[in-house]
């Protein structure tokens, strides 16, 4: 499966580990999606995708429903999605996506983590040209489904790349095609198992195991912060 999805997925779950950390982050994504587009997943594709991804990580139904209900809570009104860009040791770049009800707190926390680990905050926009935003969608291949025919059918929906392994298929497209691609797959009767918007480095780098240990410390501390939702790097 593609490096950008599988490697980050495996490393992220390894670091997050306990569901006590993962579920609140998934819940925030569901709440924000419901707040922005309404609580009906049938008419809110962003919410539908958030619920799909939560279920893929075995988030209980009660947790999902509670996250949707929080969309109308007073303390959710000030929830914001904010991004930060940073530089870590060994030439590693960081694009950090957060969701917060207190931007001042989040800025201070992220800056403190980076500084203490030998990194630094960068001016927003510094790394935009270093990453491409991509939509990655995963599903199980149905019996008798031909990969070449599937590729031809999805090109008009924005498909850029398709690959399959052990019956699991991953399609990649520009992030602007996320909606059209998921809709096209649903109309074909394909059951999507995961769907994400990723930031993929244009020029990924490799580092030594010793250097990776340093970077893991930063990633672990960032992901422990309740406001941090996603971290993308320029690592292979």
Q: How far is Cα 9 from Cα 3, in angstroms, rounded to an integer?
A: 10
Tokens of 236: 């292979």
- The pLDDT tens digits of the residues spanning 180-229 come to 998 899 898 888 988 988 899 999 999 999 999 999 999 999 989 989 99
Q: How far apart are CA 24 and CA 176, in angstroms?
A: 27
Instruction: Spell out the domain ranges in the chain.
Output: 131-200
Comparing 139 with 2, the larger pLDDT belongs to 139
Per-residue pLDDT reduced to its tens digit, 104-158: 999 999 999 999 999 999 999 999 899 999 999 999 988 888 889 999 999 999 9
CA 228/CA 29 separation, integer angstroms: 11
Question: In this predicted model, what pLDDT tens digit does every residue of 152-162 receive, in sequence order?
Answer: 999 999 999 99
Taking domain 131-200, whether its CATH number is 3.40.50.720 is answered by: no
Q: 105: closest CA among 125, 126, 79, 124?
A: 79
Question: CB burial class (10 A; 0-12, 13-18, 19+) of residue 144?
Answer: exposed
pTM for the model stands at 0.82
């Amino acid at each position: 499966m593609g490096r950008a999805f599988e490697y980050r997925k495996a490393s992220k779950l390894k670091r997050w580990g306990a569901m006590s950390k993962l579920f609140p982050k998934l819940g925030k994504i569901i709440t924000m999606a419901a707040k922005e587009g309404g609580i009906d997943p049938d008419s809110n594709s962003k919410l539908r995708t958030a619920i799909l991804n939560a279920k893929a990580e075995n988030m209980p139904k009660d947790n999902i429903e509670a996250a949707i209900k929080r969309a109308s809570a007073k303390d959710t009104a000030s929830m914001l999605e904010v991004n930060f860009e940073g530089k870590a040791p060994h030439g590693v770049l960081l694009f950090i996506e957060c969701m917060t009800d207190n931007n001042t707190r989040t800025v201070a926390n992220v800056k403190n983590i980076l500084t203490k680990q030998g990194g630094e905050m960068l001016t927003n926009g510094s790394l935009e040209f270093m990453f491409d935003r991509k939509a990655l969608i995963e599903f199980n291949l149905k019996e008798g489904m031909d990969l070449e025919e599937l590729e031809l059918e999805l090109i008009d929906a924005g498909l850029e790349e398709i690959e399959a392994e052990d019956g699991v298929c991953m399609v990649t497209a520009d992030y602007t095609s996320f909606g059209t691609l998921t809709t096209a797959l649903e109309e074909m009767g394909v059951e999507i198992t995961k769907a994400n918007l990723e930031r993929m480095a244009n020029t990924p780098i490799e580092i030594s195991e010793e250097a990776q240990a340093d970077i893991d410390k930063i990633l672990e501390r960032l992901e422990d912060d309740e406001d941090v939702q996603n971290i993308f790097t320029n690592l292979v």
